[in-house]
Amino acid sequence: MAVIPSFSTNVFVPSMPGLVAYFQSTPVTVQLTLTLYLLTLGVGQLLLGPLSDRFGRRPVLLTGLGVYVLGTILCLTAGAVESLIAARVIQAAGGCAGLVLGRAMIRDLYARDKAAGVLGYVTMTMAMATGLAPFIGAFLEEWWGWRASFVLMTALGSLLVLGALRFARETVTSRSAMPSPAHMVAVHGSVLGAAGFRRFGGYSVCILGSYYAFMAGAPYVVIVLFGQPPSQFGVYYIFAGAAYITGNFLAGRLSERLGAETMTKVGGTIAALSGLALIALAMMDIRHPLAIFLPISVSFIGSGLSQPSAMMSAIDAVPRNIGAAAGLLGALQLGVGAIASLAVGATQGASPLPFAAISGGFLLLALAILVGGRAPRLGRKPGG
């Protein structure tokens, strides 16, 4: 349930350059299939987090997954780019349930450092699936066209609904009152007021901003500017996905031993140095996929190391509003990701430098937020 929203992003990305000609549209319009998808994922989490605090994780999850399947079927049958954009919004509105509730359910069950380790293994599994997604999507695009990826998403979403009905159990032990709009604003304001949320959440948001800038710009750079086939992009992405899996595996093994602060700083430093390398190689105008995928892969190791600890630390900064904190964090991540993808789409041209500057710049900003912020005393002690 945690992997389905990002898998649905990545498996579709290799088809985006070809949709411009297919729908006789423009790159900026086609980019909205990604940008509005990410924005909807973000806004949806703002609502589903507090709702799951009130009604429980399981019913909100099952409803969201059902909406995801409906939206995916509408994507599959879309006959115009406007219809596809609208269907992607519906798909994201349901799929966001897996993102926010996955994190909240983990935090329901484990103390912070243990939860970070568990999330490391979960995100490692996510990385395995999402790392394969562009590879799968690229070959589906070459063999059967863009609709094939939505056939796959429909099948996986339907299986996920059946799996959730059978295996997903309720993890909320005490439920909050039904939040009014004013109360939701107040709750989210209190979450933003927590120093730990701003510091670790700001770091996590920027790391995701870099990732979505990469996903929005790398297919164009590799396929259009470097003249590589979509399958070549998918093959190279396998190595980037493996790098993230490596970071997640190390996070799962080391988070409890080293703690969130150390894990986040080490990973953030690796990612920031990789961002500098990405920008430098683009400035030298080296037109080979490795000029993108080598620094990005190293940054993925740093991201994989640090993201589980950063996200759990941000959520744990407000232990009385875990669902709301998880929802707000996801909303900010995907909102910034949508802005990053739109910025990349708007600056696409004859050079890879704008893409590299946006993706690498977010990594540098992430480290600046982490280092510049105060290290607060976070959350409950193990067993709390």
pLDDT number for residue 379: 42
What is d(CA 84, CA 90) in angstroms, rounded to the nearest whole number? 10
Does pLDDT of 125 surpass 80? no
Inside any domain, residue 379? no
Q: For the chain, give the percent of residues with pLDDT over 70.
A: 93
Interior angle at CA 219, CA 346 and CA 19, nearest 5: 75
Residue partners of 9: CB distance under 8 A and separation at least 6: 34, 37, 38, 130, 133, 215
Tens of pLDDT, residues 251-296: 878 877 888 788 999 999 999 999 999 999 999 999 899 999 999 9
Question: What mean pLDDT is predicted for residues 91-115?
Answer: 80
Tens of pLDDT, residues 34-70: 889 988 887 887 788 777 777 788 888 899 999 999 9
* Domain residue limits at 47: 4-372
**Range in 118-122, 185-189, 356-360 the model is least confident about:** 118-122
Does pLDDT of 175 surpass 70? no
- pTM for this structure? 0.74
Question: What mean pLDDT is predicted for residues 202-211?
Answer: 93
Categorize the per-residue pLDDT at 156 as very low, low, confident or very high, splitting at 50, 70 and 90. very high
pLDDT number for residue 174: 67
pLDDT number for residue 159: 93
Inside any domain, residue 378? no
pLDDT number for residue 112: 63
Highest mean pLDDT among 3-7, 272-276, 316-320, 329-333: 272-276
Inside any domain, residue 46? yes
pLDDT number for residue 25: 83
Inside any domain, residue 382? no
Inside any domain, residue 381? no
**Range in 173-182, 220-229, 299-308 the model is least confident about:** 173-182
Phi, psi (deg, nearest 5) at residue 377? -85, 120
Interior angle at CA 58, CA 317 and CA 117, nearest 5: 45
Does pLDDT of 196 surpass 80? yes
Inside any domain, residue 255? yes
Inside any domain, residue 383? no
Number of domain units in the chain: 1
How far is C-alpha 73 from the geometric centre of its chain's CA atoms? 22
Residue partners of 62: CB distance under 8 A and separation at least 6: 161, 164, 165, 168
Inside any domain, residue 377? no
Question: What mean pLDDT is predicted for residues 204-222?
Answer: 90
Q: In this structure, what CATH number is given to the domain that contains residue 341?
A: 1.20.1250.20
Categorize the per-residue pLDDT at 158 as very low, low, confident or very high, splitting at 50, 70 and 90. very high
